[in-house]
Amino acid sequence: MRHGTSHTAKIAGVAALAGLMMAVAILAATRDRAPTPPPIPATMRDTEGRSRLNRELDRCATLTMPDSGCEAAWAENRRRFFHQDEPEGAGR
């Protein structure tokens, strides 16, 4: 006595595997091959200006007398911290 269910199950399994392989092949063929550049972290943007500002703020931290350069550096630091588009006093 032969059972037809095992033969049918084998055919269904092979068909499912073939369908899966076909889907993977289609995805691989249509996928964009150009590698995407990694996103630039926010800390890496504008490093030149920030490092210059940080050096100025470090210098100002050692001063005991008012300094116009330090006041400008602190104003720039506040502007960047609060994400203001325009420095204080500009355009007024």
Average pLDDT of the chain to the nearest whole number: 78
Q: Given phi > 0 = left and psi -120 to 50 = alpha, else beta, which region is 88?
A: beta
pLDDT (tens digit, 9 = 90+) per residue, 32-47?
676 666 665 555 555 6
* 5 pLDDT more than 90: no
| Cα–Cα distance, 24 to 42 (Å, whole number) | 36
The token duo for 75 is 């104003």
pLDDT of residue 4: 58
pLDDT of residue 87: 52
| Single pTM value for the model | 0.39
pLDDT (tens digit, 9 = 90+) per residue, 29-85?
887 676 666 665 555 555 666 788 888 888 888 888 888 888 988 888 888 888 876
pLDDT band for 16, please (50, 70, 90 cuts). very high
